[in-house]
Chain A
Amino acid sequence: MSCLRTLFLAPAALVMVVLILAPLGVVVCYSFLTRGAYGGVEWLATLDNYRRLLDPLYLEIFLRSVAVAGTTTALCLILAFPLAWFLSRAGRRKHLYLQLVLLPFWTSFLVRLYAWMFLLRDTGLINTILLAAGWIREPLPLLYNHVAVVLGLVYGYLPFAVLPLYATLERLDRTLLEAAADLGARPLGTLRHVILPLAAPGIRAAALLVFIPCLGTYLVPDLLGGSKTILVGTLIQNQFTTARDWPFGAAVSLTLMVFTVVAVLIWLRRGGDKLL
């Protein structure tokens, strides 16, 4: 019996060790070593990589990342909630609408970000139209700023907020809404005192699914943020490529990971979820 169990668990265990634990071990190890002159590491143990993180410059990047991820999460929730509500009440058409929400996944995120660049850049579609219409004289600086990054992130992660919200709202008993109205609750009162509390698990799940990937995002700030908007993800990528400082990159990665895990644990504990 236990022999069979071991056999069946082996592939999963192998994947865990080879693809997750081993690379993580390498990252932990590298973060305490000294950088090599041309990339790679030298086997000299040090805490310098973590000490460097205390530099206000990096602290600022870190806080900026949290702010961008937080803003994106908030915007995604605000946009996704009415959409999920609509989907959950759409009757027979709801599966069609759900497919539409998932439609963007049919092409690569990278391709879709390039499409945004074509829309937003100085010679892009929006500026061209506005210039031709004579409403502006110079192209609006739509690309390469924080707003563009948040826009790209909201665009990319909105479905991740819609799906868990849809799942909870779909299960919401309509009779409860009637009962609330029957007892004198106006629509806003019903929303606040019945719908939102009952949708809380879905809201928490949606927030996590957007916030975590946004915190470490690299593609969106790199393409839409330009050099002005450096986030943690871009910082890490820079260390491993142009800066050739693998130990520091490893230290930043690990710090981000520990921060995320702690934040998620606090968030879930607060909501009384039994997930962890």
Chain B
Amino acid sequence: MEAVLELRGVTKDFPGHRAVDGVNLQIPRGAFFSLVGPSGSGKTTTLRLIAGFEQPTSGEIWLNGRPIHHLKPYERPVSTVFQSYALFPHLTVRGNVEFGLRQQRVPEAARRLREALEMVQLVGKESRYPSELSGGERQRVALARSLVVEPDVLLLDEPLSALDPALRKQMRSELKNVQRRAGITFLLVTHDCEEALSLSDRVALINQGRIEQVGAPEEVYRRPKTRFVAGFLGPVNWIGEIGIRPEATRLSRQAPDGGVRTAPATVTESVFLGNRVHVRARLGTGEEIIAEVSHSDGLYRTGEAVHVWWRPEEELRFDGA
């Protein structure tokens, strides 16, 4: 697929530490791309480098086949949805959404303003000030304000983190809908794996300023290339050098049939979680594992001897790591 945005060996040094370390990335046109990593991993700095708020120490940033790393933020055809939204407090919803259109003297501003407000369902609230809006509404204004200028890439910096959990789930699906309808490339920065995996076409995992893996959500979850990726995207049971996800870790009272890997274990704890049960067990080697089982498997008692087993194709293996 054709890349609309490309980072080539981008490095950013701050006094005393390297925030971004030789990042290469290709964002396909029209994709919903997520950059995921823990706090301090350099993901927000990467976004700020693309927006032009920071200058790369070395490396190049290309947008639509031309280098943009030397351009000022106002010369770059990208737009940012800030974590804090950064809505202009002295302007109404209309004033905020219109801001970019006016600054860039866009023709047909009235039509585009109306379309943007319709897309984020803010029609009728044009005259409100940001202080009079709810958290979700502010988020929509920020989204509309950036979408209306029709950027080549929309940059989203942890856009859902300021919302309460219920609203976050709702805005998540709205975000996806808006991206599909607008047909604009989204680059989302987040530390929430579930958010990244559920929203994106492609995910890049970043750790200590370096990209660890890029791929489709299912691919990076099922075939993580490094221990960091495996552990960051979800819990992992480590048995020797191999990792198994809790949902791929099975338990049985009788020895399982051939074709699977198996290990004897003793149940140490059984935690009822409603739709599933987490059973903690200790292997003969002393390693602790968690198996996610359903109710139909029956309840396991503490101290019970069980067989832990898994399919070889569900093992997570790492080269050297």
* A interface residues (Cβ-Cβ under 8 A, vs B): 173, 175-176, 178-186, 189, 193-194, 197-198
Q: Do A182 and B79 contact each other (CB < 8 Å), given the known contacts A175-B86, A197-B90? A: yes
Chosen A-B contacts, 5 in total, with CB atoms closer than 8 Å, are: A175-B82, A178-B53, A179-B80, A183-B104, A194-B88
CB distance from A76 to the nearest CB of B (A): 24
A183 x B99 contact (CB < 8 A) = yes
Q: Is the interface of A mostly helix, strand, loop or mixed?
A: helix
Residues in B89-112 with C-beta less than 8 Å from chain A: 89-90, 99-100, 102-104
Contact of A183 (CB < 8 Å), options: B52, B72, B79, B84: B79
By a CB distance below 8 angstroms, the chain B residues around A181 are 52-53, 72-74
Contact of B100 (CB < 8 Å), options: A173, A178, A184: A184
What 1/0 flags go to B141-181 for Cβ under 8 Å of A? Answer: 00001100100000000000000000000000000000000
By a CB distance below 8 angstroms, the chain A residues around B36 are none
By a CB distance below 8 angstroms, the chain B residues around A197 are 90
CB distance from B93 to the nearest CB of A (A): 15
Q: Do A189 and B53 contact each other (CB < 8 Å), given the known contacts A183-B145, A197-B90? A: no
Contact of A186 (CB < 8 Å), options: B52, B74, B86, B89: B74
Q: Do A178 and B86 contact each other (CB < 8 Å), given the known contacts A183-B79, A184-B74, A184-B103? A: yes
Bound-state Cα–Cα, A180 to B79, Å? 10
By a CB distance below 8 angstroms, the chain A residues around B79 are 182-183
CB distance from B277 to the nearest CB of A (A): 45
By a CB distance below 8 angstroms, the chain A residues around B78 are 182
Interface flag for B51 (CB, 8 Å): yes
Per the CB 8 Å criterion, the residue count for chain B at the interface is 24
Bound-state Cα–Cα, A189 to B86, Å? 17
A198 x B90 contact (CB < 8 A) = yes
Contact of B99 (CB < 8 Å), options: A175, A178, A180, A186: A180
By a CB distance below 8 angstroms, the chain B residues around A182 are 51, 53, 73-74, 78-80, 146
Bound-state Cα–Cα, A193 to B149, Å? 17
CB distance from A176 to the nearest CB of B (A): 5
Bound-state Cα–Cα, A173 to B84, Å? 10
Q: Do A189 and B90 contact each other (CB < 8 Å), given the known contacts A178-B53, A182-B51, A182-B79? A: no
What 1/0 flags go to B178-221 for Cβ under 8 Å of A? Answer: 00000000000000000000000000000000000000000000
What 1/0 flags go to B100-137 for Cβ under 8 Å of A? Answer: 10111000000000000000000000000000000000
B72 x A198 contact (CB < 8 A) = no
Which residue on chain B has the smallest CB distance to residue A194?
B88
CB distance from B87 to the nearest CB of A (A): 8
Q: Do A175 and B100 contact each other (CB < 8 Å), given the known contacts A181-B72, A197-B90, A198-B89? A: no
A178 x B103 contact (CB < 8 A) = no
Given A179-B80, A184-B74, 4 more pairs with CB closer than 8 A: A178-B53, A180-B99, A183-B103, A184-B100
Pick the most buried of B53, B72, B84, B103: most chain A CB atoms within 10 A of its CB. B103
CB distance from A194 to the nearest CB of B (A): 6
Bound-state Cα–Cα, A189 to B88, Å? 14
B74 x A173 contact (CB < 8 A) = no
CB distance from A92 to the nearest CB of B (A): 13
Bound-state Cα–Cα, A173 to B72, Å? 20
B73 x A178 contact (CB < 8 A) = yes
By a CB distance below 8 angstroms, the chain A residues around B74 are 181-186
By a CB distance below 8 angstroms, the chain A residues around B88 are 176, 179-180, 194
CB distance from A251 to the nearest CB of B (A): 43
CB distance from A31 to the nearest CB of B (A): 44
By a CB distance below 8 angstroms, the chain B residues around A175 are 82, 84, 86
By a CB distance below 8 angstroms, the chain B residues around A198 are 89-90
